[in-house]
């Protein structure tokens, strides 16, 4: 699960039409960076999900990091001008996989959502792996060493 950090302030400052353009640009960005069979979708508001069937925890974490890091390079079309994503905006990501974090779509989404909110509480602009995975502690240690 991915969420645009500070989106409300951006939307309030630049207006809903520009906020909508940002969300469309993020959707296009996600669609352009998926494998055949992956499923990017808008979950609600400024939250998106990306389902990566048959991907390992390491692949999913790496993909989330890559998307997070590349977010600032998305071109934002402002009428006739093209701008970069403002520095105040970033992506926070929560990662959960089947079956480590749940055996139903609801359980996995809930775990990813909780991991996303942990990323937000920890300072935003980061990837957090849901609790409960056998690989969580090793990846969490690496994540702590590589805080963004």
Summarised one tens digit per residue, pLDDT across range 33-54 is: 999 999 999 999 999 999 999 9
Q: Is-contact 90 71, C-beta < 8 A?
A: yes
Number of folded domains in the chain? 1
Active site residues: 46
Q: Is the pTM of this model over 0.85?
A: no
Q: State which residues form the domain around 63.
A: 2-145
Chain mean pLDDT for the chain: 88
CATH of the domain at 66: 3.30.70.270
């Amino acid at each position: 699960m991915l969420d645009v950090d500070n989106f409300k302030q951006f939307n309030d400052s630049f207006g809903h039409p520009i906020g909508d353009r940002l969300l469309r640009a993020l959707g296009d960005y996600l669609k352009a960076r998926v494998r055949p069979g992956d499923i990017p979708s808008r979950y609600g508001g400024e939250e998106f999900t990306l389902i990566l069937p048959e991907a390992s925890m390491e692949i999913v974490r790496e993909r989330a990091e890559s998307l997070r890091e590349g977010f600032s390079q998305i071109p934002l079309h402002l009428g006739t001008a093209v701008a970069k994503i403002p520095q105040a905006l970033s992506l926070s990501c929560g990662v959960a996989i089947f079956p480590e974090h749940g055996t139903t779509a609801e359980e996995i989404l809930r775990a990813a959502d909780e991991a996303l909110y942990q990323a937000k509480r920890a300072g935003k602009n980061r990837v957090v792996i849901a609790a409960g995975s056998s690989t969580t502690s090793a990846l969490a240690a690496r994540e702590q060493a590589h805080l963004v």
